[in-house]
Structure 1
Amino acid sequence: MKLNLNQPKSYYETFVILTLILLSCVLTYYFHFVLRSGVLFTHFFYIPIILAAVWWKRKGLWVTFFLAGMLIFTSYISPLQIDYFYDDLFRSVIFIIVSVITVILSERIEKSQIKLKTSEESFRSVVESAIDGIITTNLEGNVVFVNESFQKMFQYSEEEVIGRSVRKFIPPLLRDSYNQKMKEFHKTGKRQVGTFESAGLRKDGKEFPFEISITNWEGEGELFTTSIIRDISYRKNAEKTRSILSAIVEGSAESIIGVNLEGNILSWNKGAEQTYGYSAKETMGKSYSLLFPEDSSEYREILDTIAKGEIIDHYETKRVTKAGQLIDISLIISPIKDKTGNIIGLSAIARDITREKASEEALARSEAQLSMITANMADIICQASIDGVYIYVSPSVKSVLGYQPPDLLGKSMLEGVHPDDRSRVTSCMQDARGKCMTQSVQYRYLRADGSYVWLGTTGTPVYDDEGQVTGFICNSRDITNQKNAEDALRESEAKYRTLVESANDPISLYDENGIFLMANKAGAHSMGEEPADLLGRSLRDFFPPEIAEKQIDLIRRVINTEEGVDMEMFVPYGDKDQWFSTSLQPIYGRDNQIHSVQVISRDITEIKETQLKLEQALQDKEMLMKEIYHRVKNNLMVISSLLNLQSRYIKDEEAKAMFKQSQERAQSMAMIHERLYRSADLKHINFGDYIRKLARDLFRTYVADPSRIKLEMDVEDVMIDINIAIPLGLMVNELISNSMKHAFPEGHSGEIGVKFKEHADQCVLEVSDTGVGFPPDFDFEKSDSLGLQLINSLTQQISGELKLEKDQGTTFKITFQQPEEED
């Protein structure tokens, strides 16, 4: 804020005030004595004169009005009112005194204003020279003052800032947080000083962190807030850098230890813990010598060297771990200096190279083994210069060519190559050098005994640091036997062609586009052509488009997948539909790439027609079986219905129960035939589904109060052979119905469990209940119960094993194996 310090000089103000006093006296005398005006009227002339003085000084307004009021008041209390002369004289004296007081107060106000101006100029000089940004806002948060550092810090001019909301300089995401902190600060008190960290928003949109100190103060009855803002970007970056460096040191796999000049450990990172086995807590403040072998002078030598300011560069030494193990390390030791350059300690960076040492020893052993291997291997390993001169030859050259390695060193590779093959070897070397690629070549080479052998050589270029080819590494193998085999293969190919030509089945070779490359007589004649006439022609010339495209797609699939295809194919050929059994196999060339596809076809039209007839017969048989199952199911249901009708006329409850059981047995067998009738598999049924359906039906029949008896089922879906399913279904019916009828007499409650699992090659059926159970001396194998006798008999029928457990209720467990499938 700026203050108005433009006031008149002191002597000029005094002159004006005295003149006004004199004017007041003259006017008072004239009106009072000459015009004989009343006293009160005369006093009103004091007021404009005094107000003029007040307006001129602009300060002390309340003092002047107070004195003017006192002057008028004395008019009524003056004891001299009876004498106008003395009365006016008294008031004049009072007025002079009031004027003198006003002048004195004005002088003091002027001096205060001068001091204020000086103070403001000093304040502005300090504020404008401050490095930190300074901003003053009113109670509404609008800016009333900023210094130059603030303008530079936020990249705004003073005109762009004054009168704007301070929120403009805070990033949008932090404005609410900033306002909240300011509100909390205002609540603490007007003269409090608060400090916190936030972020600023420059004119170019960039954000930066700052630390702000704020204070409240009053001026002219209004509350203001002055904030000192310090850019802490460098401090934050330094903290971040220190954090990164600390994280690097702490997370480094290498051991980094700080030691003072007395040899005491000051820092110990995770790498040191891993290398030496000590935790930081175990080593801090202890002597660095605990890591050195006993009687080692290295510890003292290191401290003396560092004290001289020297760096101990990479060197290998040994240290002792917490476990007492002696390890190899690679070490760098550097002095640590303070800000003044004085050495205060050392930093030791070590890497455990125990494994590397072991690897070097292993490498040395490997090299010895490699030397032994190369001496006894069948291949020749050699290194040659870019001109083909031998630099190294493996000892195995003795067994292959009869030479000793020194016999060939310094000689050209081409000297021993057969004259007819030298151009081929030279071309291969040029290709390897020019294309920078591994090359292979076959040639004849002169043995020490004067004979020639065939060598197959693979040469790989060797590069220098600049990527230029400087020579070759060659691997040569005696392929004389291979060459002989190739000759035999050519002879075999001739025989193969003879066999192909004499074959009765069509045999052809095609490229990927279905073009004939070869056809035997049988194949050509089947198309009404001679073999020579088919060469170069396409399958599209002989078959309908969809059939030709299908065959070409098969040929391309064999080429792409490198796998043969055997299939049966329907071909509408001429006026007759034919079936062919076709085999497509890839044919490889000498470059081990597929060049063509061999197709062998055999007419299987008659076989296929017979097969179709058999399939039709099988379908008829399946329909017949379904009809039989359906009729058996219907007959069983008729029997069940007859038993049900007959039981209505039986008065004896025991006989009636026997009819009921017979009816249920018929229904269980009918259910199996019903499922076979509806199944695609006429020999097996899903027995798990069958058990679930049967158990729920029996539960609804026998259990009147489901809240008293619960049915729990753990049943897997297992396909069971029909010969096992029918007796097994009867057993499930007997066991579940027995539990529901007899395990829980009136008033008893409990649970019935049904489990059916298949483990490996065995099936297990388990029916249990938590009911009253059997007597302890009960022998189910000798029971006269028809149901138990039926269960025993059916178990033997399926070659199963039946067990009864009588602990905590009753559990029947039947284990059996499914019959092996017949081919």
Structure 2
Amino acid sequence: MGNIKELVEMRQRITKLEASETQHKHTADILQVQTEEALQASVRQWQSTFDAIEDLVAIIDKDYRVVRANQTMDKFFDGAKVLDAHCYELFHGTEEAIPSCPTYQTFRSGEATHAELCEQHLGGHWFDVFAYPIKDKDGTVQQVVHIVRDITERKKAGEELQASEEKYRQVVENANEAILVIQDMVIKFLNPKTIEILGYSKEEALRESEERAKAQYKGIPIPTYTWQRVDDDFVLIDHNDAAVAITHGKIADFVGIKASELYRDAPKIQEEIYRCFSEKASIEREMLYRFKSTGEEKYLAVKYAFVPPDLVLVHTEDITARKWAEAELRIKEQAIASSISGIVLVDLDGAIIYVNQAYLDIFAYSSAEEAIGHKMTEVAADKEIAQKLLTATQTKGWWKGEIRVPVRDGRTIDILLSTNLVRNEKGVPIAMMASVTDISERKQAEEQLNASLKEKEALLSEIHHRVKNNLQVISSLLRLQERDIEDEKYSEMFQDSRNRIRSMALIHEKLYRSENFANIDFAEYIKSLTSDLFRAYKGTGRIAFKMDIEEDVSLSIDTAIPCGLIINELVSNSLKHAFPEGREGEIGISIRSIEDELELVVSDNGVGMPQNLDIRKTESLGLHLVSILAEGQLHGEINLDRSEGTLFTIKFKETRDTVK
């Protein structure tokens, strides 16, 4: 019945295909995923296969009406109406379904059933009848595949065979040659001549053979239990070593127990043991079972096997790990299917074998069928880009980047693409996977932000430019006013004010000329500021200037302005007072970072300041301003060293955002 089972499986697949509108079903293993083309080929082949079967095949609905029949069945009933007829009328000649019919049993049990029936209604013929369920996604039986084979001739042959067997048994029993029958390494029969030659009694030979078979049984790696038919029940009479291991030795306590007692809460297991015995056929299924011996719950693959004359062997393979792996795989599949990133799986030849809904949405596919089974280079809007990405992935094993690509509805979008090779457990490439994120909105937002930023930078530059110009106007006004002042003391005060304004204007000039409006290159600023001061006080030539600025020190405008004013005051003071009567000397400025602080040092090797001068209480506006700026605005500390000329050290903190 191998072809029949394949037909049922094929019909099951076709039913799922017809019921599905847009959702593609994939197997857990990407290596066994079947393409849509294979399913469509199955649909085309199904009807021809169905009609070519020599057995009578019909599909029965819940009302026991024939909804489809093959040509063999039409010919068998010789013109009688088959479609829409009740199956029990056709086969049994009854007015309703009968309990002994496999189709009746399958509709109620949900399992495949089989029986041999003699139908007096059809001339007393014997039929081998099989029924296979067709279930919906919820597991409810909707239809049954009803398969019938006329075995009348076989039955007659069987009766003739029994007569023949009896005849030959007599021949074998009285033969002068040794004859024995061995099955599954166990002696099942030996004639008197064999006993005579071996020197064993029949009982000894059979016992030795059975002991050898029992040793093999004990060593089976799958837990196995032997049940024996006793009256109307079954009794556990033996088990193998694997059963001892899985129950931690407690299975021995259950030897001799009846199936009805052990499985009182699991009637399905009792039913299957009875069914295996009555049908003399193997039954296989998977189940979640709680062991009474240990209390553990495990997923088991159970196989019931009939052993004549009265035994049922139950093999229970622990598949818990596999079940958990399958559950984990389903979760991963669901996560991929529902991901907001587009996921596509491509075989090594470039054919698409899986896409999730996000991928379909991003690239404007109307359904998965438009992509699956086709070459990536065939369905991509830009075939050249697709080929380059496939080649890069196969060559390097991965690719990642942002690209601009056309999609199927004519739009062009920006995507973040990441590809990689999928490898099996041996590290051999078996497929390629890509993750796609539509970043078009982000790109548009970035472009708008960059445009807005450039606008603001231009505006800020203009502001600094105008502030610088306004300060220069003020400085020019002071210069004009200074021309009318004859008193040198007041003229000097105007010049000091102009220098202070110039120090601030210079900062704004550096900012509007800079590409970075947040920080100022302080070394460049000091060069310009001191150059102006040396010219203003005619210190060029006889007074040297030494600058030691730590590399890459940049200050924010809030720090640069007070620092600039401090340097302006101290350098101006040195140029005016440290080198009287044309004396030569040196003025130095250094800035360096010490841990989380900045240290500004302004020094000269001139005549120095009086020992009794307190810079915080002096009447000098410049020195008083230095004290206020250092302690009040920079929140730093100021120290004065008079040992060798004059050396001011100012330590202060600058925020991390403005120190590079």
Q: Could you state the TM-score of these two structures normalised by the residue count of structure 2?
A: 0.48
Task: Give the structure-1-normalised TM-score.
Answer: 0.39
> Greater RCO between the two (CA within 8 Å, min separation 6)?
2
